[in-house]
Amino acid sequence: MNLLYFATMILLPLIMISIGLLWRKTGPNKINGIYGYRTARSMSSKESWNFAHKYSGRIYLLLGILLLIPTLILGAYYWSADSDTAGILSVIVMTVHLIFFILVIPITESALKKNFDKNGNPIREEE
C-alpha cells in the first residue's frame, strides 16, 4: 500500500481525535463565525456554545479512537496491496470516516435541543 493512501486513511480519525482533545474541556472562548461548532442553536448563548463543544468533543474523541484502530489494522493488512486495491480501499475507508464525522452534528443538535430552548436558555427539569 502506498504511504500516501495510508496517510489519507488515517487523516480523518486523527483530525477527530485532535478536535476531541481540544473541545472536550471547552471550545473557543468566544462565540464566533469562524472556528468551532457553529450552528444556530449552539451559537444562541454562551452556555449552549460551551455545551456543544464539550459534547461534540467527547464524541469526536471517542469516534476518532474507535475508527483509528481498525483503520491501522486494515492498513497493515493491505500494506503490500497493489495500487488499485489500495486506492479503492482508501476511498471506502475515508467515506465511512466522513459519514461518522458528519453524524456528530445531528447527535449534538439533538442533545442541544433536549437541553436548551431556541434562545439558548437551559431547559430545567421540573422536580
What's residue 112's pLDDT?
Answer: 96
Low-confidence ranges of the chain (pLDDT < 50): 127
C-alpha 111/C-alpha 108 separation (Å) is 5
Whole-number pLDDT of residue 1? 59
Angle between helices 83-115 and 3-23 (to 10 degrees): 10
**Residue 124 has what pLDDT?**
79
Q: What is the pLDDT of residue 3?
A: 82
Beta bridge pairs of residue 116: 122
Q: How far apart are CA 16 and CA 115, in angstroms?
A: 24
The helix/strand/coil state of 122 is strand
Q: From the CA atom positions of the chain, what is the Rg in Å?
A: 18
Which residues, 6+ apart, have CB-to-CB distance to 62 below 8 Å? Answer: 20
Q: Which of 108, 97, 120 is nearest to 37 (CA)?
A: 108
User: What pLDDT is attached to residue 80?
Assistant: 80
Confidence (pLDDT) at 89: 87
Q: Looking at residue 126, what is its pLDDT? A: 57
pLDDT score for 90: 87
pLDDT of residue 82: 83
